Amino acid sequence: MIPIAKPLLDSREHEAVLKVLESGAIASGEDVLTFEREFSEYAGTRFAVAICNGTAALHAAIKSCDINPGDKVITTPFTFAATANSILFEKAVPIFVDIDPSTFNIDPIKIEEALKKHGDIKAIIIVHLFGLVCDMSRILDIAKAHGIALIEDAAQAHGAMYGDKMAGSFGRASTFSFYPTKNMTTSEGGMILTDDEGIYRSCKTFINHGQAERYIHETLGYNFRMTNIAAAIGLVQLKKLDAFNEKRILNASYYNTHIDNTTVAKPLCPAGYKHVYHQYTLKVKNRDRFVKHLADNHIGTGIHYPLPLNGQPLYKRLGYSSAETPIAQQVAEEVVSIPVHPALSQENLEHIAKVINQYE
């Protein structure tokens, strides 16, 4: 079976981890600080806070942007659950806004409509889904015009670009995940980026039991720290990230030119964007049959995502309905991701394109 995702680790990660183990400094220390510095330099922000995973990164970003119980936060329903769940962690209220069916990203026009409908929106959390940055010039204009905080969930967009700016460099805060299926990994891990020193300090204390000073707890915090073991993996992976992304882009362009089955819709990459293809996501009408055809030919697939968040049991119990975002609802029934990760061989690519072209 060709897997839908595969982390690429070699002797460089092995040696880096071994070095940390031999040092005895296996919790949070120097490697974490170095990883923070190098990751923020890569993305072009002043500050970075390494954290135990991408979900905790979203939680810390929300808390540090002063989102409080009852505050309304606009976000997309077409994402991994962590995006909106992190709003619920602080007892704030997700307002789901529909997506653009051609990019899968939140639709700026629908953001404006939601802002008109709700006069009291506190923040917007956007997601650069599947490795494609959102329509930033319009979204930044909206956030500025309304004076509201913008948080980027860049968990799927390490190294993605809009014009000459990196994903994660637009918002008041941005968050990343380094889960093994992402464009780079630390095993479990995450990062918050910001240019704002106040947000930086707030995240640093939030992830460390609210301590600005040892054993002096100013606020309620958590233990969300990253380990040196994870950071050592991340430092090696960060050096490989551009090459990983280039291979993902090459794989995607192979599919763009070689998949010519008119029953499947290929993903779009608008001009001016660097799409890093965290996923290569097709739309098909008869998805179960398509998935079976690929599985019968030893090709793994992924459904990202089978339900918009407002159609999830958790959110339905809270009174939400996926009927409020009909485009996300429709798209969720049709999407299927095929392997695009950098471990694919030329033979894999040829096989996958051929099998898809044979589907009828």
Q: Which residues bind ligand PLP (CB under 6 A)?
A: 53-55, 79-80, 82-83, 127, 153, 155-156, 177, 179, 190
Nearer to ligand PLP, 110 or 158 (CB): 158
What are residue 299's DSSP bridge partners?
2
DSSP per-residue string spanning 17-35: HHHHHHHS--SSSHHHHHH
Name the residue nearer to ligand PLP (CB basis): 33 or 81: 81
Work out how close the CB of 168 gets to ligand PLP at its nearest, in angstroms, rounded to a whole number.
13
Quote the least distance from Cβ 139 to ligand PLP, whole Å.
Answer: 16
Helices within the chain (DSSP H only): 11-23, 30-43, 54-64, 82-89, 108-117, 136-146, 197-206, 228-258, 287-296, 313-317, 326-334, 346-358
Work out the end-to-end distance of the chain between its first and last CA atoms, rounded to an integer number of angstroms: 21
Distance of CA 181 to the CA centre of its chain: 11
CB of 73 to ligand PLP, least distance (A): 14
CB of 193 to ligand PLP, least distance (A): 14
Residue 333, classified by CB atoms within 10 Å of its CB into exposed (0-12), middle (13-18) or buried (19+), is middle
Q: What is the DSSP string of 247-275?
A: HHHHHHHHHHHH---TTEEPPP--TTEE-
The nearer residue to ligand PLP, 175 or 228, going by C-beta atoms, is 175
With contact defined as beta carbons under 8 Å apart, do 173 and 197 qualify?
no
Rg (CA), the chain: 20
Residue closest to ligand PLP (Cβ): 54
Shortest CB 357 distance to ligand PLP, Å: 29
Distance of CA 319 to the CA centre of its chain: 26
Nearer to ligand PLP, 86 or 208 (CB): 86
Question: How big is the CA angle at 38 (ends 343 and 253), to the nearest 5 degrees?
Answer: 30
When the beta carbons of 156 and 337 are compared against ligand PLP, the nearer one is 156
Nearer to ligand PLP, 273 or 305 (CB): 305
Q: Measured from the CB of residue 84, what is the shortest distance to ligand PLP in angstroms?
A: 10
226 vs 349, beta carbon nearer ligand PLP = 226
Nearer to ligand PLP, 111 or 151 (CB): 151
Q: Give min distance, CB of 305 to ligand PLP, in A.
A: 10
Under 8 Å between Cβ of 205 and 221: yes
Q: Look at residues 235, 185, 239, 238 and name the one whose alpha carbon lies nearest to residue 31.
A: 235
> What are the counts of helices (DSSP H) followed by strands (DSSP E) for the chain?
12, 15
Q: How far is the CB of 244 from ligand PLP (least distance, A)?
A: 16
